[in-house]
Amino acid sequence: MHHQNNRRTRMRKTIVYIAILGLLGYGVWFFLFKDKSVFEEDEAGFTIKDTAAVYKIFLADKRGDTISLSRTGEGWMVNGRYGASRGMMETLMETIHSQAAAYPVQEAAHNNVIKQLAVSAVKVELFDKDGELIRTFYVGGQVSGNNGTYMLVEGAQRPYVVQLPVYQGYLTPRYSTSLKDWRDRTVVDLSPKQLESVEVKYISPDEYLNSFTLLRKDDGSFTINTHPELKMGGEPNPRRVKTYAGYFQKLGLEGYLDGVQKLDSIIASVPRRCEITVHGQGGYTQKMDIYWMFIGKRSKNQYEDSTVVPDIYDADRMYAIINGGKDTVIIQAHVFNKILRRGYEFYGEDKQEE
C-alpha cells in the first residue's frame, strides 16, 4: 500500500513536471516564433502585402526633394499636378509588395550603415485611404556586390539588407525623388474615335508645301487638306488617311528636360522643324513645337548618312515643347516619324503585294 502511494506521488510529480516543461516549451515557442511576427513588424517590416490599401506615398531625400504620389479615380498623380508614370508606379507597388529583409546588418558594419542612412537615405511614408500612416522606413545605399539595399524601419534598432525574391539588384532608384522620373511620358493618346483633327505645319521653306491637316467629317471618317499644288488632280487615298488617324495612340516622350541649365539657349540655338496641333473630343488639345537636335555622341547618323535628316542634326531624337509651353522634352524619331508625314504621301495608289 505504501509502495502504491509512492508510485502515485511520483506519477503526480512527473505529470506536474511534464506540465511545467510543456508550459516552458510553449513560452519558448511563443517568444521565438509567435512573437517573431511582432519583431518583424517593428524591426523588418518592409513588406506591404495589401498594396491596394496604400493610397498615398510620400518620398523625401536629404536634399529637400520630395515626391507625393496619390491614388485618384483617374489613376495615380504626382505632387497633385501631373499624371504618374504607369510603369514607375507598377514597379514601386510590386517592390513594396515583394521586398523583404534578408538579414540584419552585421554589428561590425552597423555604425557605418547608420551614418550612410543619416546622410543619403530616402524617407518613405505609406498612408491608407483615410490618411492614416501605415509604415515609415528609410531606403539607403547599395550593398557591396549589388546584392541588396540597406533599409531601416523608423524606430528600429538595426538596419537590414532588403532584397526582392528573384532580383538581387539595387532598389533605391525605385524610390526616386526626381519629378522627371515619376511623370507620365504620354504626349498624346487618342483613338481614331476620340480624334477630331491634326494639323502638321512645317516651318522650313523647303518643307512648307508638305504641311497638311487631318479633319473628321460628319460621317465619322477623315479627310486630308493639303497644299493645292500637291493634289495632282486626284483625291487622297482613303486607306492611307484612315491608317494615319490611328497613329495617335500612346505617343510617348523619351524624357523631360525641365530644370536643365541654359535650356532656353539650347532650344534657341536650333531651328524649329514643325508645329503639330492635335484636337480631340471633350475639348482636348495638345500642341507640339518640334525642334531639331544637333548631332551628338549618341547620334547614329554620325556614322551613317540619313536620307531625310540634314547631316548636322540628330536623326534619332528631337526636342519638343508641349503641354501649353510648360514642358521641354526629348522625343524619339522612330516614335514620331509616323506622324511627321508629308502631304503628298496621302496621294497615289497602294503598292500591290506579290
Q: Using one digit for the tens of pLDDT, what is the confidence trace for 299-313?
A: 565 445 555 678 789
In this predicted model, what pLDDT tens digit does every residue of 88-139 receive, in sequence order? 999 999 999 999 999 999 999 999 999 999 999 999 999 999 999 999 999 9
Q: Is residue 140 part of a domain?
A: yes
The residue-averaged pLDDT of 247-257 equals 95
Same domain, 253 and 116: no
Q: What's the pTM?
A: 0.74
278 within domain boundaries: yes
Look up the domain containing 167 and give its range: 43-182
Task: Tell me whether residue 62 is in a domain.
Answer: yes
Number of domains in the chain: 2
* Last residue of one domain, picked from the residues 141, 158, 182: 182
> Are 119 and 259 members of one domain?
no
Same domain, yes or no: 68 and 95: yes
Domain end position, chosen among 142, 167, 182? 182
Cα–Cα distance between 18 and 21 in angstroms, integer? 5
pLDDT of residue 300: 60
Identity of the amino acid at 145: G
**Distance from C-alpha of 241 to C-alpha of 221, rounded to nearest angstrom:** 9
Confidence of residue 39 (pLDDT cuts 50, 70, 90): very low
75 and 215 in a common domain: no
Same domain, yes or no: 323 and 217: yes
Task: Give per-residue burial for 296-314: e unless 16+ CB within 10 Å, then b.
Answer: eeebebeeeebeebeeebb
User: Looking at the domain assignment, is residue 252 inside a domain?
Assistant: yes
